[in-house]
Structure 1
Amino acid sequence: MVYVSRMRVFLVWFLCLGVALASWRFMALGVEASMDFVAYHAVERRWAFFAHITLAPLALILMPFQFWKGLRTRRPDVHRWIGRVYGVSILLAGIGSLLMAFGTTSSPVAAWGFGLLAVAWLGSTGYGIWLARQGRIAEHQRWMIRSAGLTFAAVTLRVYLPFLFMTLGEEAGYTLVAWLCWVPNLVVTEWFLRRSNVPSPAAA
């Protein structure tokens, strides 16, 4: 069981770092060459687009560090500062993604999927940080786990998208992945919170 647990931890770190670094490929290749499917956002809503593609990967990189128990225990000041950067990154990237969802040329179903993801991402992260500032640490931990599940949508989107494009085509695949990348993540997160030893507010 210890081996399986360590493999899960390694896989999360590997996927978060790998997807984040791959997302920054536009810095070397340019937007047109690396993200042609959504490159129109760079022209129509430039600030929102670059806020999202620059800061969402940063949040993805920082997310595993916030669940590193040794860091939280030994260096709580570092944990707090990483949390602040994580929160600001999600604030700007989330607003950017919400504006992009409103302006997407894809179907309204896709727009609603990505728009609700942005609202849930901003809401869960903001509420989790507010709880920490109130000293309600048990509730803070639970809400930040929900935030992490939504941050991990960047990974699940890239896992599903090639298969959906091959089987359903770009338009239908993009519409489905707008929901599939995050709704199952939330379901799994809630299941985890119910069965794990993460303290509930009542227990705390």
Structure 2
Amino acid sequence: MTMTEARPATPLWRRPWMFPLGLLVAAFLAFSLPPYLGLDPARSRIPAPTGWYYPVLVAHIGFATVAMVTCALQIWPWLRQKHPTVHRRTGRVYVFAGAIPASVAGFAIALAAPFGPVGAVSNVFLAVLWFGCTVQGFRTARARRFGEHRRWMVRSFALCMSIISNRIWGVVWAIVLTPQLDTTFGGSEAALGQAIAGITTWTGWVLPLLVAEWWLGRSRGRRRAPSPA
């Protein structure tokens, strides 16, 4: 999965977002993974509603971890330009050991997650779109349609990393909605929790995907702009 155009490698200082992205992914994983490393359901941050839910959740988390790490490497221009073979192999790991199995497991747990129907529908859409964008990205790379490949993988990247956005929005919506517990939600903590989870899941992935589409449209517009005479 690489672009074969002969271009000089982009200096790291021209891509100042790479280091913060790597740091953000590392910090997120350091916070999120420990409760699941011992395979103890009692430490899970999400209560398991059925017997199969916890092992599928752990599988989803494991595959998603692989996806996040390899996805960050995939968008590193220096690696793509200077080491295309590594880029291709890392891309295959992202697709087959990360995004595809993580999205399939995510689809399964979305159907049974204890966060209400609004959150369930959102997570089903997220899993299906992540799977579809990733498969399209792989297919277009195999067909050597690298422009299309890049666009699909940008979308896949946005959906993959949306879990970080999801955590941020969860805090935001909790702050906004909790004061309405006794009014809007009639004192029901369960209704409040489902509302926070539902809105969080939608904003968590929809906004990053919209930003990705805006960025792709802006980049396409710049390439089509006529050069000055």
The two structures have a TM-score, normalised by structure 1, of: 0.86
**How many residues are matched?**
197
- Show the counterpart of 1:175: 198
Greater gyration radius: 2
1: distance between equivalents of 2:156 and 2:20?
18
User: Of 26, 30, 39, which residue of structure 1 is paired with 2:47?
Assistant: 39
- Report deviation, 1:198: 9.3
- Aligned partner of 2:219 in structure 1 is 196
Secondary structure at 2:113 match in 1: coil
CA contact (8 A) 1:51 1:93 kept: yes
1:7-34, CA deviations, whole angstroms, 9 ceiling, x for partnerless residues?
433322221222123222121584432x
Aligned to 2:3: none
Unaligned 5+ runs, structure 2: 1-10, 178-191, 224-229
**Which deviates the most, 82-91 or 167-176?**
167-176
The structure-2 alpha-carbon separation of the partners of 1:70 and 1:42, relative to structure 1 and needing over 3 Å to count, comes to: farther
Residues 171 and 116 of structure 1: CA distance in aligned 2, closer, same or farther (over 3 Å)? same
Tell me if 1:27 matches 2:50: no
Unaligned runs of 5+ in 1: none
Paired amino acid for 2:130 = W
When structure 1 is superposed on structure 2, of 124-133 and 153-162 the one drifting more is 153-162
Counterpart of 1:27, as a letter, is L
2:28 and 2:221 mapped to 1: Cα distance? Answer: 27
Alignment pair present for 1:62 and 2:70: yes
Is 1:42–1:50's contact at 8 Å kept on the other side of the alignment? no
Contact persistence 2:56–2:105 (CA under 8 A): yes
What are the residue-to-residue correspondences of 1:52-201 with 2, within 5 Å?
A: 52-88=60-96, 89-168=98-177, 169-196=192-219
More helix as a share of residues = 1
Q: Does the 8 Å CA contact 1:117/1:150 hold for their aligned counterparts?
A: yes
Answer yes or no: is the 8 Å Cα contact 2:119–2:194 preserved in 1.
Answer: no
**Percentage of matched positions with identical amino acids:** 29
Q: Secondary structure at the match of 2:137?
A: helix
Q: Structure 1 residues 131 and 110, CA, compared in 2 at 3 Å: closer, same or farther?
A: same
> Larger deviation: 8-17 or 93-102?
8-17
Q: Please tell me the root mean square deviation across aligned C-alpha atoms, in Å.
A: 2.5
**C-alpha distance in 1 between matches for 2:221 and 2:48:** 43
